[in-house]
């Protein structure tokens, strides 16, 4: 690999960090300059990730300060990490683009916080050092606290308080897990640790497993696995639209960390049953939350829970072939959730305040809705905007529920194929298959019900919605459609990533080899 | 020595968990602080409890068993700084929540309301 390209690995971490710091010095009122800087930085990150992906020999190791591992801290860019970097850049681009219309003015330092969040995310994806992973987690969490509070207000501050307390507690679990693993293995470098764990004597083996389990608690809180994820829908529903869209990738960091560390440090059998059971419970909880929620934003949060549950359960089946489709599903479901969170805010803006409650009480008491006389209907008032929003909503519904032509369908289909393979887990595989199907059905029911209430059942207010706000939603959907069209190459990339993750020897050798 | 340290960590963590589950925001903050002390001590003893040994390697000396492990100490330092910063942030959010809701209950309203 050429000398210049070698340094590209560090760009996704350093660039947003520098960019966010410079933005702090710029006057708060110069939103145009800040948003342009932010978008440029995100575009450059995406370009760096694409250049690294396009490079034939993808896995590359970067020793920070040229301190060789296992003593120095390393960044490792393999297919899985680069895919996550690219995905978060796409979502951040859409969120920042969306915020230009109004949200960037709702509170101070929005663009800096987005950049710091990106630095933390990319660092967490790329790092090859366990304690560095903790530091990057804290960086992205600190930025996410700021973003959750963005726009302020009673509900947001209350939910952020819960969010901060839960994540601080999870961070303490993280620290306990890291220090246990360090105490037994004597290293923090992930590749070095993977090499040393098989040689750990029997009595200490328990400590390693306890440490890994405590670490997993910290990750699964972020992923929103069933008994740990009750905070997720309400926090995401309370935060502002661009922040919520960014948070949809945040819950995938937990999944990424579990996948990376679990398969690197242990064989796929350890703890798989727990992941499978937790994933299945999460899908069930997400499905019922989806059907029960009366607020659109909570529906979007529930769809994130379903996607987390599907991914965890797919990992928990222990079928190596399930990881590739799961990664494909991870990408598309995250894009779908981000688009949905952005769209929810636009839809809520054109709704009558309180229309939600009216619709509910009308259903409960089976009486006519108070505004049933139908004078000056939606069509007469603002046909174009209502139509655009309705079409976008339909697209989002298909995307979230995983129906063709949207790509989640392909991900689920490939996942089913892996589950139905002869060697697959018999009973749990069938339960999972049924639950994923039911969750898709529940999603389409919940979305159809919400869509009918909003676009057919109630009068819409004429609110100005600018093209700049619809464009990111449309852009995210176009990217999703692109993933359907290019499903072949993308899926083969994911399967290569799956093979890399499943044979960690290549990763270990790459990190520990002397140049 | 081990017994004293582990009892101390246990007491700190126990008090921390108790306070964390209390309904008032200030109790939650104190609980989090106690928990983070417990965790910091826990990281510290992962370099083994031995009194009177410096983590500094003198030139020429190569026997690692007569030196304390410096890595947990630097980890603790990082963890302290991070928990200090996030606790400060949480305090600000606590005050904002108190101002906006008029109560210090974590749910933003008194149980009877």
Is A370 a member of any domain? no
Instruction: Give the minimum alpha-carbon distance from A207 to chain B in angstroms, rounded to a whole number.
Output: 12
Is B79 a member of any domain? yes
Q: Enumerate residues 30 to 59 of chain B having a beta carbon within 8 A of any beta carbon in chain A.
A: 32, 35-36, 39-40, 42-43, 46-47
As given in the structure block, the two tokens for residue A25 are 């010095």
Is A221 a member of any domain? yes
Is A375 a member of any domain? no
Beta-carbon contacts of A440 under 8 Å, excluding residues fewer than 6 positions away, are A401, A402, A403, A412
Half-sphere exposure of A210 (CA within 13 A, CB side): 10
Is A371 a member of any domain? no
Is B107 a member of any domain? no
Q: Determine the Cα–Cα distance for residues A186 and A193; give it in Å rounded to an integer.
A: 8
Is A346 a member of any domain? yes
| Bridge partners, residue A61, by sequence | A76
Is B112 a member of any domain? no
Is B106 a member of any domain? no
Inspect the interface and report whether the beta carbons of A154 and B85 lie closer than 8 Å: no
Is A491 a member of any domain? yes
Bond before A405 cis per omega within 30 degrees: yes
- Answer whether A109 touches B (CB < 8 Å): no
Minimal-distance CA residue of chain B relative to A185: B46
Q: Which of B16, B31, B42 to mutate to test the interface with A (most CBs of A within 10 A)?
A: B42
Is A372 a member of any domain? no
Is A369 a member of any domain? no
Q: Which of B82, B92, B103, B106 to mutate to test the interface with A (most CBs of A within 10 A)?
A: B82
ipTM of the complex: 0.91
Along the 515 residues of chain A, how does pLDDT read in single tens digits? 566 777 888 999 999 999 999 999 988 888 888 889 999 999 999 999 998 888 766 778 888 888 887 788 889 888 899 999 999 999 999 999 988 887 877 778 889 999 999 999 999 999 989 999 999 999 999 999 999 988 888 888 888 999 999 999 999 999 999 999 998 888 888 888 888 888 888 888 888 889 999 999 999 999 888 888 888 888 888 888 889 999 999 989 999 999 988 888 887 667 788 888 899 999 999 999 999 888 888 888 999 999 999 999 988 887 888 888 899 999 999 999 999 999 888 888 777 665 554 444 445 544 444 444 444 444 444 567 778 888 888 888 888 888 877 888 888 888 888 888 766 567 778 888 889 889 989 998 898 888 888 887 766 766 667 777 888 888 998 998 888 888 888 888 888 888 888 888 888 888 887 65
Dihedral pair phi/psi, residue A268, rounded to 5°: -65, -10
A16-A235-A344 Cα angle (round to 5): 85
Domains: count for chain A = 1
Domains: count for chain B = 1
Is B69 a member of any domain? yes
Decide: residue B17, CB within 10 A, 0-12 exposed, 13-18 middle, 19+ buried: middle
Query: Residue A299: which domain range?
Result: 3-363+380-512
Query: Residue B46: which domain range?
Result: 2-54+65-101
- Answer whether A230 touches B (CB < 8 Å): no
Other CB atoms within 10 Å distance of the CB of residue A268:
17
């Amino acid at each position: 690999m050429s000398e210049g390209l070698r340094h590209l690995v560090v760009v996704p971490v350093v660039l947003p960090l520098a960019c966010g710091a410079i933005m702090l010095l710029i006057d708060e009122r110069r939103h145009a300059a800040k948003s342009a800087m932010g978008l440029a930085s995100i575009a450059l990150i995406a370009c760096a990730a694409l250049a690294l992906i396009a490079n034939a020999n993808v896995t590359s190791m970067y020793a920070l300060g040229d301190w060789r591992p296992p003593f120095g801290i390393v960044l490792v860019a393999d297919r899985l990490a680069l895919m996550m970097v690219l995905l978060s850049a796409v979502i951040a681009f859409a969120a920042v683009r969306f915020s230009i219309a109004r949200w960037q003015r709702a509170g101070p330092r929005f663009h800096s916080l987005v950049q710091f969040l990106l630095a933390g995310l990319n660092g967490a994806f790329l790092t090859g050092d366990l304690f560095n992973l903790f530091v990057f987690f804290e960086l992205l969490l600190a930025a996410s606290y700021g973003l959750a509070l963005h726009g302020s207000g009673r509900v947001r501050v209350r939910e952020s308080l819960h969010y901060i307390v839960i994540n601080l507690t999870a961070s303490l679990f993280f620290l306990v897990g890291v220090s246990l693993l360090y105490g037994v293995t004597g290293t923090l470098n992930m590749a070095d640790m993977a090499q040393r764990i098989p040689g750990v004597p029997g009595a200490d083996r328990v400590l390693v497993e306890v440490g890994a389990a405590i670490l997993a608690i910290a990750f699964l809180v972020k992923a929103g696995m069933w008994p740990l994820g009750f905070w997720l829908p309400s926090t995401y529903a309370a935060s502002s639209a661009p922040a919520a869209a960014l948070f949809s990738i945040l819950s995938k960091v937990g999944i990424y960390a579990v996948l990376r560390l679990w398969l690197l440090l242990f064989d796929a059998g350890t703890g798989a049953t727990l992941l499978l059971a937790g994933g299945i419970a999460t899908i069930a909880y997400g499905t019922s939350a989806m059907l029960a929620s009366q607020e659109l934003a909570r529906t979007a949060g529930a769809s994130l829970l379903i996607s987390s549950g599907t991914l965890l359960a797919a990992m928990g089946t222990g079928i190596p072939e399930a990881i590739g489709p799961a990664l494909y599903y991870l990408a598309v479901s995250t894009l779908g959730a981000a688009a949905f969170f952005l769209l929810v805010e636009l839809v809520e803006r054109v709704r009558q305040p309180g229309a939600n409650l009216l619709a509910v009480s009308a259903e409960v008491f089976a009486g006519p809705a108070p505004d049933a006389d139908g004078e000056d209907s939606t069509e007469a008032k603002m046909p174009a905007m209502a139509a655009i929003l309705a079409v976008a909503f339909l697209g989002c519904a298909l995307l979230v529920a995983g129906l063709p032509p949207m790509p989640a369908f392909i991900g689920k289909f490939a996942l089913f194929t892996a589950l139905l393979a002869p060697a697959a887990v018999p009973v749990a595989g069938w339960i999972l298959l049924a639950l994923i199907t039911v969750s898709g059905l529940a999603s389409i029911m919940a979305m159809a019900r919400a869509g009918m209430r909003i676009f057919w059942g109630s009068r819409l207010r004429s609110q100005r919605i600018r093209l700049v706000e619809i464009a990111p939603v449309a852009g995210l959907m176009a990217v999703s459609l692109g993933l359907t069209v290019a499903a072949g190459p993308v899926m083969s990339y994911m399967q290569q990533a799956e093979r890399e993750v499943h044979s960690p020897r290549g990763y270990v050798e790459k990190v520990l080899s002397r140049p | 020595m081990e017994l004293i340290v582990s009892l101390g960590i246990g007491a700190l963590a126990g008090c921390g968990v108790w306070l964390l589950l209390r309904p008032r925001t200030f109790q939650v903050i104190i609980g989090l602080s106690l928990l983070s002390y417990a965790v910091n001590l826990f990281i510290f003893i992962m370099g083994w409890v031995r009194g009177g040994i410096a983590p500094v390697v003198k030139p020429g000396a190569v026997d690692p068993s007569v030196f304390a492990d410096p890595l947990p100490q630097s980890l603790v330092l990082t963890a302290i700084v991070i928990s200090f910063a996030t606790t400060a942030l949480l305090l600000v959010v606590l005050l904002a929540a108190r101002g906006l809701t008029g109560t210090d209950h974590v749910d933003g309203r008194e149980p009877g309301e």
